[in-house]
Structure 1
Amino acid sequence: MKKVIYLFSLLILSGMILMSCTNAKKQSSETEAATEVAAAEEEGWITLFNGEDFTGWRGYNRTDMPTAWTIEDGAIKINGSGMGEAGAKDGGDIIYDQKFKNFELTFEWKVSEGGNSGLFYLAQEVEGKPIYESSPEYQV
């Protein structure tokens, strides 16, 4: 019986240690991201996404942010329907609410296997027209 209690205690302790390491890693990643953003801004870069909210972002040809877009683990994500952006409930394209002319753009991306995503740049909002008719797209 003592062996069973001892093994059970070790199992619980191991689980607690693993859980605390995972949380520490997440906090460490968040701290590293904040440090990178601060360093980039000191060098004159403009950070378009703060990893926390949609400040500066809105839907294409809209004044609000489509609700299908969320922030998960510091990344922008759409909760799609699997039918493309046209099939996403309150999805569609999003844009940054500031225009830029002469710029260098760097970004990190992640897309699911078999996913189809891209980044439109130099977009012009044309009422009643999709974004791809007025903007080149970088496929990821």
Structure 2
Amino acid sequence: MMKYPKHLVFLLVAVCFSLPVSPSLAQSNGYEMLFDGSSVEKWRSKQSSSFPEKGWKVADGQLFLDSKGGGDIITREKFSDFELVFEFNLTAGANSGIKYFVDTIYNEKTGKMMVNGPEYQIIDDFNYPGIKEDPNGLSSTAAAYLFYPPKNKTLRPHGEWNTGKIVARGNKVTHWLNGKKVVTYQRGSRDFLNKKQENKFKDDARYGELEEGHILLTDHGDKVYFRNIKIKKP
């Protein structure tokens, strides 16, 4: 049996572990890549059927907002039950987020109307202006924005990668951050609806009540990097 020098074996192992997960491997594990580091074919502008020509940029395997005016982007596909996994890297003082169960529905009075959805908040907890004015953590990273604060979370500072996860099963939703479950709630529950009446979404028609919807990346004018966005259906 041929023997190899130990330093060569260690080098080969290191290279294997450093290689990015390929779309085919992710799919074989039950995940579908929504962003694989290069293609944005599964995303479009919230306002049109095409991907924004400005604002959003892909470079070095990352998707990020490079300048203002790109607008929110949404997945072309709608999802009901899902497990969404993503990595994000904040810049200093940045604010962003991922919304889910959003869709465009027809309104007899106004025509088409965008239905907003719950948001996994992504923000620089350490440097964002005004974050100290939110002692309850309802607008901190991994919160169900303005509804439920994260508990026992560990957020890495700007410049470092974090891993988020959103799991939706029926009306039950959980948020995860760096391997820890930090939020659990029930869409449409009495508690959820009571909290909705107490925040700015009280007049949003069917907020968080759709059976399926798009995944949305927000444009708040700040640069936040995303990579390895993938989703698994039951």
Report the TM-score, using the length of structure 2 for normalisation: 0.39
Q: Which runs of 4+ in 1 moved over 3 A?
A: 126-129
Partner residue of 2:120?
A: 138
Q: For 2:104 and 2:47, how far apart are their aligned partners in 1? A: 6
Alignment of 1:1-16 (within 5 A): none
Work out whether 1:45 is the aligned partner of 2:31. yes
CA distance in 1 between partners of 2:58 and 2:32 (Å): 20
1:117 aligns with one of 48, 72, 96 = 96
Q: Is the 8 A contact 1:60 1:125 kept in 2?
A: no
Higher relative contact order (CA 8 A, sep 6+): 2
Kindly indicate whether the alpha-carbon contact (under 8 Å) linking 2:104 and 2:113 is maintained by their aligned counterparts in 1. Answer: no
The structural deviation recorded for 1:34 is: 4.0
1:79-107 superposed Cα distances (whole Å, 9 cap, x missing partner): 22xxxxxxx23x10001100111111111
Q: Partners in 2 of 1:137 and 1:59 — Cα distance?
A: 18
Within 1, Cα distance between the matches of 2:39 and 2:29? 23
- CA–CA separation in structure 2 for the residues paired with 1:62 and 1:44: 30
Q: If each structure's helix is expressed as a fraction of its own residues, which one has the higher value?
A: 1
Deviation at 1:61, TM superposition (A): 2.5
Q: Percent identity?
A: 32
CA distances 1:85-134 after superposition (whole Å, capped 9, x unpaired)? xxx23x100011001111111110112010001111111125465xxx51
Select the structure of larger CA radius of gyration: 1
Q: Distance in 1 between matches of 2:49 and 2:120?
A: 24
Scaled by the length of structure 1, what TM-score is found? 0.63
Q: How many residues align structurally?
A: 100
Q: Could you say which structure has the higher strand fraction? A: 2
What displacement does 1:65 show?
1.0
Identify unmatched segments of 5+ residues in structure 2.
1-14, 106-111, 123-234
User: Which ranges in structure 1 are unaligned for 5 or more consecutive residues?
Assistant: 1-27, 81-87
Pick aligned residue for 1:58 from 25, 44, 52: 44
Name the counterpart of 2:57: 70
Alignment of 1:13-28 (within 5 A): none
